[in-house]
Homo-oligomer: A and B are copies of this chain.
Amino acid sequence: MSGKRSLIRAGTTVDQMVRAIGDRIVTGFLRPGEKLDEASLAARFDVSRTPVREALGRLSAMGLVERRPNRGATVAVVTQEHLASMFESMAELEAICARFSAERMTAGERRALEIEHQASARLVQLGAEEDYEYFNTEFHTRLYRGAHSKHIYELTVMTRSRLAPFRRAQFMLPGRLAKSWQEHDIIVTAIMRGDSAAAGQAAKDHVSIVSEASAVFAAVDPMKPATVSIGVSS
Contacts and interface: CB of A to CB of B under 8 A. Distances in A.
A167 to B, nearest CB: 15
A96 B81 CA distance: 18
B152 A155 contact: no
Given A53-B54, A57-B58, A58-B57, A151 B196 contact: no
A129 to B, nearest CB: 28
A12 interface: yes
Interface stretch (A83-91, A116-124, A180-188): A83-91
A27 interface: no
B92 A234 contact: no
Nearest to A15: B69
Given A54-B54, A57-B57, A69-B12, A92 B96 contact: yes
Contacts of A58: 57, 61
Interface string A183-197: 000000000000010
Interface residues of A, number: 27
A4 interface: no
Nearest to A158: B155
Contacts of A61: 58, 61
Interface in A27-54: 50, 53-54
Contacts of A89: 149, 151-152, 155
Contacts of A88: 149, 151-152
A7 to B, nearest CB: 21
A96 B58 CA distance: 28
A34 to B, nearest CB: 21
Nearest to A12: B69
A50 B150 CA distance: 31
A166 B117 CA distance: 40
A136 interface: no
Interface string A60-100: 01000000011000000000011001101100100010010
Interface of A: 12, 50, 53-54, 57-58, 61, 69-70, 81-82, 85-86, 88-89, 92, 96, 99, 103, 149-152, 155, 159, 196, 234
